Amino acid sequence: MFFALMVFLCGGLGAMTRFFLDKAMSPRLRTESSIISPVFVINLVGSFLYGLLILPVSNPRALGVHYNATDQVAFWCTVITTGLLGGFTTFSTAMVEALTARSEGKMVKFLMLWLVQVVGAMVAALAGALLFVLLFGRYIAPVFPPDVLY
């Protein structure tokens, strides 16, 4: 029950963070000449952070922590990725923005928001995972699902 509550609370925090960042970036990125949107930037940052945390989520021993601490590492990394970053990123809004750009005849913006964002998110997640390996000097193959949560 505590796990579900933490995911719920972090999801709300992530959504609020996205909302305020969107508002802060809107004056610069929500213009007629802009080919990206605040949601584009938020989704790439969120994907990078998710990539950075996916190894400890899927296999907490990737951090080299003592075996007894792996439950806590997996718990909090999963709460952060599923809750906080799940609420922070929003690909449904991005796709609506892409379709809106398409209906307005803005093909470059449409492609940036649709195709480049999806590919960019995958590259950002891979870059995050690579940074984890560089920081911690190890790669332990992910174990799905993380059995320490069940």
Read off the pLDDT of residues 9-32 as tens digits, 9 standing for 90 and up.
999 999 999 999 999 999 998 888
Give 135's pLDDT tier (boundaries 50, 70, 90). Answer: confident
Q: What was the pLDDT predicted at 91? A: 87
Q: What was the pLDDT predicted at 31? A: 85
For the question of whether the overall pTM of this predicted structure is more than 0.75, the answer is yes
Q: What was the pLDDT predicted at 150? A: 42
Q: Is the peptide bond before 145 cis (omega within 30 degrees of 0)?
A: yes
Read off the tokens for 11.
């999801």
Q: What would the pLDDT profile of 43-60 be if each residue is shown by its tens digit?
A: 999 999 999 888 777 766
Query: 55-59, 63-67, 118-122: which range is least confident on average?
Result: 63-67
Q: Is 125 helix (H, G, I), strand (E, B) or coil?
A: helix
Read off the tokens for 83.
């809750």
Amino acid at 98: A
Cα separation values, 11 from 39, 66, 95, 100, 118, Å = 16, 29, 20, 26, 21
Domain locations in the chain as residue ranges? 2-25+38-139
